[in-house]
Amino acid sequence: MNIDYPSPNFDERPAGTDIDMLVLHYTGLKTLQEALDRLIDPASKVSAHYVVAENGEIFCLVPEDKRAWHAGVSYWRGLTDVNAHSIGIELENPGHEFGYHNFSSLQMNALIDLSRDLLSRYEITGRNVVGHSDIAPRRKKDPGELFDWKFMANKGVGLWPAENTGKGPWDDLEIWLSVLGYETNNITATLRAFQRHYLPSSISGQADKITRRSINALIDLVGETGSN
Could you list the residues that contact Zn ion (CB under 5 A)? 25, 132, 142
Rounded to a whole number of angstroms, the minimum distance from the CB of residue 26 to Zn ion is: 7
Q: Which is nearer to Zn ion, 74 or 214 (CB)?
A: 74
In angstroms, what is the C-alpha Rg of the chain?
A: 17
Rounded to a whole number of angstroms, the minimum distance from the CB of residue 140 to Zn ion is: 6
Spatial separation of the C-alpha atoms in residues 176 and 148, rounded to whole Å: 23
Rounded to a whole number of angstroms, the minimum distance from the CB of residue 53 to Zn ion is: 16
Contact between 128 and 76 (Cβ < 8 Å)? yes
Rounded to a whole number of angstroms, the minimum distance from the CB of residue 105 to Zn ion is: 22
Asked if 90 is an active-site residue, the reply is yes
Spatial separation of the C-alpha atoms in residues 8 and 211, rounded to whole Å: 41
Contact between 74 and 135 (Cβ < 8 Å)? yes
Q: Which is nearer to Zn ion, 51 or 222 (CB)?
A: 51
Q: Which is nearer to Zn ion, 139 or 209 (CB)?
A: 139
Q: Is the peptide bond before 169 cis (omega within 30 degrees of 0)?
A: yes
Q: Which is nearer to Zn ion, 85 or 132 (CB)?
A: 132
Which of 57, 90, 97, 174 does the annotation list as catalytic? 90
Nearest to 149 by CA among 222, 88, 199, 183: 199
Active-site residues, by number, are: 90
